[in-house]
Structure 1
Amino acid sequence: MKFSMSIALLLRSTPLLLLALVGCASTLHFNSSDSAGGENAAPPTELITEQLIQAERQQNGQHAAQDLSRLIVSNPPPYVIGSGDVLSIVVWDHPELAGAGMPAATANGDNGIAAMNAANATPQGFVVDHLGRIQFPFAGLFKVEGLTEEQARTQLADKLAKYIANPNVTLRVLAYRSKRVYIDGEVKSPGLQAINDIPMTLMEALNRAGGLQPTADQSRITLERGEERYTINLRELVQKNISPGNVMLAPGDVVRVHSRDESKVFVSGEVISPRALTMHDGRLTLNEALGETGGINPLSGDTRQIYVVRKTPERTRVFRLDARDTGSLAMAEAFELRPKDVVYVAASPLANWNRSLSLLFPGALTQAFSITKP
Structure 2
Amino acid sequence: MQLKTDLRKWSVIAVMPILAACSSVSPGMHYAGITESASSTDEAPEGAIKPILKPITPQLLKAEKSLREKQATQDISKLLGQAKAYNIESGDVLSIVVWDHPELAGPAIAGAPAAAGMVMDPATQTAATQSAGFVVDQDGIIQFPYAGALKVAGLTQDQARNLVTKKLAHYIRNPKVTLRVQSYRSKRVYIDGEVKSPGLQPINDIPMTLMEALNRAGGMLPTADQSQIMINRSGTNYHINLPQLVQKGVNPSSIMLSSGDVVRVLSRDESKIFVSGEVTQPRALTMHNGRLSLNEALGESGGINPLSGDASQVYVIRKSATEPIVYRLDAKAPGALAMAEGFELQPKDVVYVAATPLTNWNRTISQILPGQLSGAVGAGAGYK
Amino acid of the residue matched to residue 99 of structure 2? W
What are the Cα deviations for residues 18-73 of structure 1, in whole angstroms up to 9, with x where unaligned?
44312223861151122332551421201111111111111111111011111112
Aligned match of 2:113? none
Give 1:330 deviation, angstroms. 0.5
Amino acid of the residue matched to residue 96 of structure 1? E
CA distance in 1, matches of 2:367, 2:89: 76
Checking the alignment, whether the CA contact within 8 Å between 1:102 and 1:126 is kept in structure 2 is no
CA distance in 2, matches of 1:171, 1:314: 61
| Aligned partner of 1:44 among 48, 52, 70 | 52
Question: Structure 1 269/187 Cα, relative in aligned 2: closer, same or farther at 3 Å?
Answer: same
Aligned match of 2:118? none
Checking the alignment, whether the CA contact within 8 Å between 1:6 and 1:368 is kept in structure 2 is no
Query: Deviation above 6 Å: which 4+ runs of structure 1?
Result: 5-8
Checking the alignment, whether the CA contact within 8 Å between 1:47 and 1:320 is kept in structure 2 is yes
| Aligned partner of 1:31 among 18, 23, 34 | 34
| Aligned partner of 1:165 among 166, 173, 180 | 173
Question: Structure 1 26/90 Cα, relative in aligned 2: closer, same or farther at 3 Å?
Answer: closer
Aligned match of 1:189? 197
| Identity across the alignment (%) | 56
Amino acid of the residue matched to residue 22 of structure 2? L
CA distance in 2, matches of 1:247, 1:319: 38
| Aligned partner of 2:316 among 289, 308, 311 | 308
Aligned match of 1:359? 367
Amino acid of the residue matched to residue 300 of structure 2? E
1:97 equivalent in alignment to 2:98: no
Checking the alignment, whether the CA contact within 8 Å between 2:277 and 2:353 is kept in structure 1 is yes
| Aligned partner of 1:124 among 122, 125, 132 | 132
| Aligned partner of 2:150 among 139, 142, 147 | 142
Aligned match of 1:211? 219
Partner-residue secondary structure (3-state), 1:198: coil
Give 1:370 deviation, angstroms. 4.8
Aligned match of 1:256? 264
CA distance in 2, matches of 1:8, 1:280: 58
CA distance in 1, matches of 2:168, 2:125: 34
Give 1:97 deviation, angstroms. 0.8
Amino acid of the residue matched to residue 299 of structure 2? G
Question: Structure 1 124/7 Cα, relative in aligned 2: closer, same or farther at 3 Å?
Answer: farther
Partner-residue secondary structure (3-state), 1:164: coil
Question: Structure 1 134/102 Cα, relative in aligned 2: closer, same or farther at 3 Å?
Answer: farther
Cα root mean square deviation, aligned: 2.4
Checking the alignment, whether the CA contact within 8 Å between 1:268 and 1:342 is kept in structure 2 is yes
Aligned match of 2:351? 343
Give 1:12 deviation, angstroms. 2.8
Question: Structure 1 117/310 Cα, relative in aligned 2: closer, same or farther at 3 Å?
Answer: farther
What are the Cα deviations for residues 246-303 of structure 1, in whole angstroms up to 9, with x where unaligned?
1110000000011111110000000000010011111000000000001111111111
Partner-residue secondary structure (3-state), 2:364: helix
Aligned match of 1:276? 284
| Aligned partner of 2:325 among 308, 313, 317 | 317
1:294 equivalent in alignment to 2:302: yes
1:84 equivalent in alignment to 2:103: no
Amino acid of the residue matched to residue 132 of structure 2? Q
The unaligned stretches of length 5 or more in structure 2 are: 1-5, 111-120
Give 1:373 deviation, angstroms. 7.2
CA distance in 1, matches of 2:345, 2:8: 44
Partner-residue secondary structure (3-state), 2:204: coil
CA distance in 2, matches of 1:102, 1:132: 23
Checking the alignment, whether the CA contact within 8 Å between 1:123 and 1:175 is kept in structure 2 is no
Aligned match of 1:72? 80
Identify the range of structure 1 (164-173 vs 246-255) with the bigger mean alpha-carbon deviation.
164-173
What are the Cα deviations for residues 145-169 of structure 1, in whole angstroms up to 9, with x where unaligned?
1100011111111111111122211
Partner-residue secondary structure (3-state), 1:323: coil
Amino acid of the residue matched to residue 350 of structure 2? V
Q: How many aligned positions are there?
A: 359
Checking the alignment, whether the CA contact within 8 Å between 2:294 and 2:340 is kept in structure 1 is yes
Question: Structure 1 137/10 Cα, relative in aligned 2: closer, same or farther at 3 Å?
Answer: same
Question: Structure 1 225/244 Cα, relative in aligned 2: closer, same or farther at 3 Å?
Answer: same
Identify the range of structure 1 (31-40 vs 171-180) with the bigger mean alpha-carbon deviation.
31-40
Give 1:314 deviation, angstroms. 2.8
Checking the alignment, whether the CA contact within 8 Å between 1:217 and 1:260 is kept in structure 2 is yes
Amino acid of the residue matched to residue 34 of structure 2? N
Aligned match of 1:109? none
Identify the range of structure 1 (328-337 vs 86-95) with the bigger mean alpha-carbon deviation.
86-95
Question: Structure 1 7/31 Cα, relative in aligned 2: closer, same or farther at 3 Å?
Answer: farther
What are the Cα deviations for residues 326-368 of structure 1, in whole angstroms up to 9, with x where unaligned?
2111100000000100000011101111111112221123313
Question: Structure 1 184/117 Cα, relative in aligned 2: closer, same or farther at 3 Å?
Answer: farther
Checking the alignment, whether the CA contact within 8 Å between 2:95 and 2:106 is kept in structure 1 is no
1:239 equivalent in alignment to 2:242: no
Give 1:134 deviation, angstroms. 0.4
Identify the range of structure 1 (78-87 vs 88-97) with the bigger mean alpha-carbon deviation.
88-97
Identify the range of structure 1 (223-232 vs 12-21) with the bigger mean alpha-carbon deviation.
12-21
Give 1:116 deviation, angstroms. 5.8
If the length of structure 2 is used for normalisation, what is the TM-score?
A: 0.88
Amino acid of the residue matched to residue 31 of structure 1? I
The unaligned stretches of length 5 or more in structure 1 are: 104-113
CA distance in 2, matches of 1:348, 1:310: 23
Question: Structure 1 324/161 Cα, relative in aligned 2: closer, same or farther at 3 Å?
Answer: same
CA distance in 2, matches of 1:69, 1:101: 45
If the length of structure 1 is used for normalisation, what is the TM-score?
A: 0.90
